[in-house]
Amino acid sequence: MSPLKWTRRNDVLQKALFGPAGYPDTARGSLKRVFKILVDAGATALEYAAVYGLQASEGKAKQIGDLARQSGIMMSMHEAYYINFASKDPKIREKSRQRLIHALRFSPLMSVKRIVFHPGTQGGMIPAEAHIVVRDALRSVWEEAGRRGRGAFLAPEIAGKIVMYGSVDQIIALCHDVEGCIPTIDWAHLYARSQGKINDRESYLKILAQFENALGSLFVDNMHFHISGITFTEKGEVSHQPCGEEWGPDLHPMMEIVHELGYKPTFICESPNPLQGALFAKFLFEQIEMGRNE
């Protein structure tokens, strides 16, 4: 899989976008302050944290969307952690379906373009069987509610724990088989799943080639990345950590690749201080740009 076939992309987003997962702590519950802090800091994206369920009223959702548009902030949403499409309990499967349907209905109100979620466990099945169950559930979600999202994508995420549904191959297959799906590549989760091996230019290029060769412009035109430091064991992810300190993965070669190939991803930081991490990543990217343009 050679990157030589790839071309620089300059026709989709004007630039790479950077932002936090969740509101800044200093916003003190004020939506207007949330977006003022982001704009003043230089952030250009925000992932709304619905990780314990989307509970916003329609009025609040509309306010979020209006403020995002006025502020020039690209919105995504992270749906509930307890989505599980391969659960042995049919009630949990149906609740998982309804959560994504609800998120699609609210996406236009909130100006959300990507709904990030973890498909869940493998339900005691072999990977191929789990894929069929998850695939069919997501197809039914999209058939029922895809139009309600008005251009919003479902964005299944690479899982940090090895036993969970969410390997590179599984996420690619899901996005290939289900209309309305794009991948969320969580580079920290990949680092943990690979036991620290996906951490340099060669390994990053291999992963990007795998996604691009399989999904083409669907992937390239809609890149959504999660970043942070992370700790892990032989089972995978343990906890997210700050960017740019003693924890991997190393973001520098990733930023070099993004600049060289003209990619325009949205980078969402999930570190303990996500706004600080997002700004660190943006600074790193801008330093690479400046160095290459001199």
Pick the more confident residue, 249 or 5. Answer: 249
Please tell me whether the peptide bond between 249 and the residue prior to it is cis, using omega within 30 degrees of 0.
yes
16-293: what fold? TIM Barrel (3.20.20)
Phi and psi angles of residue 20, each rounded to the nearest 5 degrees, phi first: -90, 160
The pLDDT of residue 294: 57
What pLDDT band is residue 7 in, cutting at 50, 70 and 90?
very low
Domain ranges of the chain: 16-293
DSSP state of 271: S
What pLDDT band is residue 293 in, cutting at 50, 70 and 90?
low
The pLDDT of residue 11: 38
> How many C-beta atoms lie closer than 10 Å to residue 284's C-beta?
18
- Per-residue pLDDT reduced to its tens digit, 144-177: 999 999 999 999 999 999 999 999 999 999 999 9
Q: Are strands 229-233 and 236-241 parallel, antiparallel or unpaired?
A: antiparallel
Percent of the chain whose pLDDT exceeds 90? 91
pLDDT of 8 strictly over 80 = no
The pLDDT of residue 211: 98
User: What is the H or E stretch that residue 100 is in?
Assistant: helix 90-110
User: What is the H or E stretch that residue 204 is in?
Assistant: helix 201-215
Assess contact for 178 and 139: CB atoms under 8 A.
yes
The residue-averaged pLDDT of 189-208 equals 98
pLDDT of 100 strictly over 70 = yes
Q: Which of 294, 179, 165 is CA-nearest to residue 236?
A: 165
Q: List the single range of 24-28, 60-64, 213-217 with lowest mean pLDDT.
A: 24-28
Angle between helical axes of 127-145 and 90-110 (0-180°, round to 10):
50
The residue-averaged pLDDT of 66-81 equals 98
The residue-averaged pLDDT of 120-129 equals 95
pLDDT of 10 strictly over 50 = no
- Per-residue pLDDT reduced to its tens digit, 208-262: 999 999 999 999 999 999 999 999 999 999 999 999 878 999 999 999 999 999 9
Pick the more confident residue, 5 or 87. Answer: 87
